[in-house]
């Protein structure tokens, strides 16, 4: 079997093993003009008819080098030679880096994927193919080790991540160059890859060659470490997924709650993983949270109920029944209503709650479904004032029959209502008497009886 046939067969095995391509896919290739992307383009073209795929070349000129136009022209020529549709865009990664105050390397990566994803929207069954090889994977693993990564980081790059595929990660750089040279396929070398300005270049040019003097198979060892980490991660993730579902009490936008008792019964390592998981769910990533940050958040279990730990705009609070993670948003004080007044047969919104009022007879009261409605007898009242607001110091309500009163603050404490919720519970007043703590209980005032003729019905809906 000739070298070309072996390479194509190996490429097809990788595609099949990791299910990277399906029939009738559109494959958008990140085409740089370098050896890796040229290798990927030509191999995909060999399987074009077999998978019945459309191949599209996407080249972003970063405007970083004077000879960048040569890369652009090579991609265009490759597209013409292979009859592949080609898209080219120009954006300065240096300007973007200054604007966002990030490294030029990171800026280039962000701009590339923005460009690729913008093209993807125009095609059905589209995937983005990027040309990371085995050497890239080894370098990534070593970079993660140097930065102190855990198991998640040691997985490094996946063959498939959503709609992004990496079909040539089983090929060494030496194999790629040999294939291109043997088949007389043109490519350009980016001279910035030979500069030591970037961390990855230092690892590639200085660190790995020194270690290879001790272990010539060091790159393969790093890749093997990545594969083992992936296998172990999958096992751990299954356990984590199961526990996460069991302890998750609530999940809404910008907030997530764990069952307090179940969370506290876990081992510290599992707690830390679930804290990381909660952060990922809320933010979509955990890049701003180090191991030290996670360990600091774990200390919440040693604090008193009601205490909180804040990291950036993430708040982790220990409550009576839950541990609550939430992203603190800037409050719009203008839109946060302090109070509203209702009349009979009224319909008004108080922040995130909708209140409706109406008058009914006792006959209707007996037949009507109670549910989220509350009822108050108004027979002895000539003038009626209905108000909704949040709590203030000194609020109290009639707690027991016979007129015994209780401070609202003490009620919240006795009922173990979390501190962060107390100021968000609407209170309904009739003629300045606290009659309803929404979602909790009503007072003993204005109780409905068989003698009631004029009954106020109040329905409350949380929006």
Residue 245 lies in a domain: no
More confident residue, 396 or 191: 396
Look at residue 175 and tell me whether its pLDDT is greater than 80: yes
pLDDT exceeding 70 applies to what percent of the chain?
Answer: 96
Kindly state whether residues 166 and 305 are assigned to the same domain. no
Note the pLDDT of residue 159: 95
Per-residue pLDDT reduced to its tens digit, 66-89: 778 999 999 999 999 999 999 999
Q: What are phi and psi of 277, to 5 degrees?
A: -65, -40
Task: Name the pLDDT band for 1 (thresholds 50, 70, 90).
Answer: very low
End position of a domain, from candidates 226, 242, 271: 226
Annotated binding site: 32-37
The three-class DSSP label of residue 363 is: helix
Instruction: State the total domains in the chain.
Output: 3
Kindly state whether residues 323 and 343 are assigned to the same domain. no
- Candidates 272, 253, 271, 273; CA nearest to 263 is 271
Look at residue 402 and tell me whether its pLDDT is greater than 90: no
Residue 111 lies in a domain: yes
Q: What is the DSSP letter of 303?
A: S
Look at residue 256 and tell me whether its pLDDT is greater than 60: yes
Q: What are phi and psi of 460, to 5 degrees?
A: -125, 130
Residue 208 lies in a domain: yes
Look at residue 305 and tell me whether its pLDDT is greater than 90: no
Q: What is the DSSP letter of 431?
A: T
Look at residue 326 and tell me whether its pLDDT is greater than 80: yes
The 8 Å CB, 24+ separation contacts for 409-413 are 411/437
Note the pLDDT of residue 332: 46
End position of a domain, from candidates 298, 327, 356: 327
Note the pLDDT of residue 163: 95
Kindly state whether residues 269 and 219 are assigned to the same domain. no
Residue 234 lies in a domain: no
Kindly state whether residues 191 and 47 are assigned to the same domain. yes
- Candidates 328, 305, 302, 329; CA nearest to 317 is 305
Residue 337 burial (CB < 10 Å; 0-12/13-18/19+)? Answer: middle
Give me the chain's average pLDDT, please: 90
Look at residue 333 and tell me whether its pLDDT is greater than 50: no
Kindly state whether residues 12 and 111 are assigned to the same domain. yes
Look at residue 240 and tell me whether its pLDDT is greater than 60: yes
Query: Residue 179 contacts by C-beta under 8 Å, 6 or more apart in sequence?
Result: 3, 4, 7, 39, 185
Domain range spanning residue 382?
A: 339-462
Note the pLDDT of residue 285: 83
Per-residue pLDDT reduced to its tens digit, 11-35: 999 999 999 999 999 999 999 999 9
- What residue spans of 1-34 are helical by DSSP H? 3-17
Residue 241 lies in a domain: no
- Domain harbouring 379, CATH code: 3.50.40.10
Tokens of 313: 């705009």
Note the pLDDT of residue 194: 59
End position of a domain, from candidates 327, 359, 389: 327
Per-residue pLDDT reduced to its tens digit, 183-234: 999 999 876 665 665 678 888 889 999 999 999 999 999 999 999 999 999 9
Kindly state whether residues 194 and 141 are assigned to the same domain. yes
Kindly state whether residues 288 and 383 are assigned to the same domain. no
Kindly state whether residues 77 and 139 are assigned to the same domain. yes
Kindly state whether residues 178 and 209 are assigned to the same domain. yes
Annotated binding site for ATP: 32-37
Per-residue pLDDT reduced to its tens digit, 352-374: 899 999 999 998 998 888 777 89
Note the pLDDT of residue 369: 81
- Domain harbouring 321, CATH code: 3.30.465.60
Residue 231 lies in a domain: no
Kindly state whether residues 279 and 395 are assigned to the same domain. no
Residue 333 lies in a domain: no
Kindly state whether residues 17 and 107 are assigned to the same domain. yes
Kindly state whether residues 439 and 368 are assigned to the same domain. yes
Per-residue pLDDT reduced to its tens digit, 379-393: 878 788 999 999 999
Chain centroid offset of residue 439 CA: 31
Note the pLDDT of residue 52: 95
Mean pLDDT confidence for 436-443 = 92
Range with lowest mean pLDDT among 54-63, 278-287, 324-333, 334-343: 324-333
Residue-by-residue DSSP string for 182-224:
HTT------GGGGSTTSHHHHIIIIIHHHHHTT-TTHHHHHHH
Residue 235 lies in a domain: no
Per-residue pLDDT reduced to its tens digit, 98-114: 998 888 888 999 999 99
- Domain harbouring 93, CATH code: 3.40.50.620
Note the pLDDT of residue 334: 44
Note the pLDDT of residue 437: 94
- Which contiguous run of DSSP H or E holds residue 135? helix 134-146
């Amino acid at each position: 079997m000739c070298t070309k046939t072996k390479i194509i067969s190996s490429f097809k095995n990788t595609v099949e093993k990791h299910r990277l391509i399906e029939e009738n896919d559109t494959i958008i290739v990140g085409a740089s003009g370098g050896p890796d992307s040229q290798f990927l383009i030509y191999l995909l073209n060999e399987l074009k008819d077999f998978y019945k795929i459309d191949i599209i070349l996407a080249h972003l000129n970063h405007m970083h080098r004077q000879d960048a136009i040569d890369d652009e022209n090579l991609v265009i020529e490759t597209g013409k030679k292979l009859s592949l549709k080609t898209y080219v865009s120009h954006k300065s990664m240096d300007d973007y880096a200054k604007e966002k105050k990030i490294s030029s390397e990171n800026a280039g990566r962000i701009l590339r994927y923005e460009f690729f994803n913008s093209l993807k929207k125009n095609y059905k069954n589209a995937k983005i193919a990027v040309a990371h090889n085995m050497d890239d994977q080894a370098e990534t693993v070593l970079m993660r080790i140097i930065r102190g990564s855990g198991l998640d980081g040691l997985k490094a790059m996946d063959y498939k991540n959503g709609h992004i595929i990496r079909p040539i990660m089983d090929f060494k750089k030496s194999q790629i160059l040999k294939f291109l040279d043997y088949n007389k396929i043109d490519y350009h070398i980016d001279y910035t890859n030979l500069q030591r300005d970037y961390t990855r270049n230092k690892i590639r040019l200085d660190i790995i060659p020194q270690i290879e003097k001790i272990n010539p198979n060091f790159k393969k060892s790093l890749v093997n470490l990545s594969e083992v980490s992936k296998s172990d991660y999958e096992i751990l993730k299954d356990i984590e997924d199961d526990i996460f579902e069991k302890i998750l009490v609530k999940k809404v936008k910008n907030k997530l709650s764990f069952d307090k008792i179940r969370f506290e019964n876990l081992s510290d390592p599992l707690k830390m993983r679930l804290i990381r998981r909660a952060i990922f769910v809320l933010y979509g990533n955990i890049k701003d949270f180090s191991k030290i940050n996670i360990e600091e958040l774990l200390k919440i279990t040693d604090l008193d109920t009601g205490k909180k730990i804040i990291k950036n705009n993430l708040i982790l609070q220990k409550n009576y029944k839950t541990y609550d993670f939430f992203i603190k948003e800037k409050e719009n004080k203008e839109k946060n209503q302090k109070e509203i007044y209702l009349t009979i047969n009224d319909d008004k919104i108080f922040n995130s709650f909708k209140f409706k009022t109406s008058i009914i007879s006792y006959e209707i009261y007996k037949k009507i479904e109670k549910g989220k409605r509350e009822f108050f007898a108004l027979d002895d009242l000539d003038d009626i004032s209905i108000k909704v607001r949040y709590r203030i110091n000194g609020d109290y309500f009639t707690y027991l029959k016979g007129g015994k009163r209780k401070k609202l603050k003490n009620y919240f404490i006795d009922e173990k209502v979390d501190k962060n919720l107390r100021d968000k519970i609407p209170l309904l007043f009739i003629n300045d008497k606290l009659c309803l703590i929404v979602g909790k209980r009503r007072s003993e005032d204005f109780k409905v009886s068989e003698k009631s003729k004029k009954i106020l019905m109040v329905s409350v809906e949380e929006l």
